Amino acid sequence: MAKKINLNEEVTDFLDELKHPFRKEIEQLRICILSANPALTESIKWNGPNYCFDNEDRITMSIQPPTKQARLIFHRGAKKQTQPKDKLITNKSKILIWKENDRAIATFKSLQDIEDKKTELTEIVNEWLQATK
C-alpha cells in the first residue's frame, strides 16, 4: 500500500493561482519532500512552498519569479544563528551548492532531473532534518 502524502490544500491553492510554468515539477518536488519524512509539514512562506520539522522552517522551495526551474533552499529558519564550523551535513552530493555552512541550495530543471535525483534528495532531506534538530 502506498504512503499517503499530506499535500497542504493552501499550498495547492496558492500554486493554482500562480499558473507557474514549472507546475508539474513543483508538484513532483512537493511529493518527494513530503515522502522523505512523515514528520514534515507544508505551508506557504517567502512566496513558495515551505517545509517545517518540529515547527521549525527547514526547507523552502524558491519558485519566484516564475521560471523553468525550482530551487530548494535548505536552511535553519529565518533567525540569524551562529555559523557552524563545518557544513551541517556530510553528504557529498553534487546537487547541493553551499552558500553558508548552514545553508545549501539544490536546483532542479526538469521532471527527469527530479526523478534522477529523487533517492539522493530523500537522503539529503533526512540528513538535513537530523542535523538541524
The three cell numbers locating residue 60:
523552502
The three cell numbers locating residue 86:
563545518
| Region 9-131: CATH code | 3.30.1460
Domain boundaries, the chain: 9-131
The three cell numbers locating residue 62:
524558491
Can you tell me the distance from the alpha carbon of 117 to that of 115, in angstroms, rounded to the nearest whole number? Answer: 5
Please tell me the number of Cα atoms within 13 Å of 102 on its side-chain side: 17
Name the 3-class secondary structure at 66: coil
pLDDT digits (tens, 9 = 90+) for 83-98: 889 999 988 888 999 9
Does the reported pTM lie above 0.85? yes
pLDDT digits (tens, 9 = 90+) for 42-87: 999 999 999 999 999 999 999 988 888 999 999 998 778 888 899 9
Q: What is the pLDDT of residue 1?
A: 43
pLDDT digits (tens, 9 = 90+) for 1-29: 456 688 999 999 999 999 899 999 999 99
3-state helix, strand, coil in the chain (%, to 5): 35, 25, 40
